Structure 1
Amino acid sequence: MADDYPFDEAEITSAWPPRDTAPGGYMEPIRAAGAVLWRQGESGREAVLVHRPDRDDWTLPKGKVKNGEHLVTAAAREVAEETGLRPVLGRRLPPQRYLRGGWPKLVDWWAAEAGPGASEFTPNEEIDRVEWVPLAEARDRLTYDHDVSVLDNFVSGPLETFPLVLLRHAPAGEKRAWEGDDLLRPLDETGRETAGELARVLEPYGPMRVVSSAAARCTETVLPYSAATGAEVRTVPAFTAGVHPGGGGVDTAAARRAFATLVEEGRPTLVCIHGELVADLMKEALARLGAPVTQQISLRKGTFWVLHITSGQERSLAAVERHEATR
Structure 2
Amino acid sequence: MKSEEGRIRAAGAVLWRRAPDGPRVALVHRPRYDDWSFPKGKVDAGEHVLGAALREVVEETGIAVRLGRRLPSITYLKDGRPKQVDYWSATPIDAEAVFVPNEEVDRLEWLPVAEAVERLSYERDAQVLREFAAGPLTTRPVVILRHALAGRKSDWRDDDALRPLDDRGRAQARALAALLGVFGRLRPVSSATARCVETLLPYALASGGEVTTDRAFTVGRTDAGRAGSRLVELACDGADPLVVCTHGEIVGDLIAELCRKFGEPVPDDPSLRKGGFWVAHLAVDDDGTSGVAALERHWAPPS
1:109 matched to 2:81? The reply is no
Deviation track 1:199-226 (CA, whole Å, cap 9, x = no partner) reads: 1111111111111001000000000100
In structure 1, what is the equivalent of residue 266 of structure 2?
A: 293
Deviation track 1:99-149 (CA, whole Å, cap 9, x = no partner) reads: 223322110011111114986533222111112111111111111111111
In structure 2, what is the equivalent of residue 196 of structure 1?
A: 174
Query: Paired residue for 2:70, among 70, 82, 92?
Result: 92
In structure 2, what is the equivalent of residue 64 of structure 1?
A: 42
In structure 1, what is the equivalent of residue 226 of structure 2?
A: 254
1:82 matched to 2:57? The reply is no
In structure 1, what is the equivalent of residue 205 of structure 2?
A: 227
- 2:129 is aligned with what amino acid? L
Query: Paired residue for 2:31, among 22, 42, 53?
Result: 53
SS in 1 for 2:236: helix
User: In 2, Cα distance between the equivalents of 1:177 and 1:31?
Assistant: 39
Q: Runs of 4 or more off by more than 6 Å in structure 1?
A: none
Question: Could you list the runs of 5+ residues in structure 2 that have no partner in the other structure?
Answer: none
User: 2:28 touches 2:36 (CA, 8 Å); kept in 1?
Assistant: yes
Query: Paired residue for 2:136, among 137, 158, 173?
Result: 158
Length-normalised TM-score, structure 1: 0.87
Post-superposition offset of 1:184: 1.1
Distance verdict in 2 for CA 1:216–1:117, change over 3 Å: farther
User: In 2, Cα distance between the equivalents of 1:252 and 1:128?
Assistant: 53
Query: Paired residue for 1:217, among 173, 188, 195?
Result: 195
Question: Could you list the runs of 5+ residues in structure 1 that have no partner in the other structure?
Answer: 1-25, 245-249
In structure 1, what is the equivalent of residue 255 of structure 2?
A: 282
User: In 2, Cα distance between the equivalents of 1:94 and 1:121?
Assistant: 26
SS in 1 for 2:133: helix
User: 1:69 touches 1:326 (CA, 8 Å); kept in 2?
Assistant: no
User: In 2, Cα distance between the equivalents of 1:84 and 1:265?
Assistant: 34
Distance verdict in 2 for CA 1:118–1:298, change over 3 Å: farther
In structure 2, what is the equivalent of residue 175 of structure 1?
A: 153
Length-normalised TM-score, structure 2: 0.93
User: 1:210 touches 1:271 (CA, 8 Å); kept in 2?
Assistant: yes
User: 2:219 touches 2:250 (CA, 8 Å); kept in 1?
Assistant: no
- 1:296 is aligned with what amino acid? D
User: In 2, Cα distance between the equivalents of 1:286 and 1:268?
Assistant: 17
Q: Identity of counterpart residues, as a percentage?
A: 52
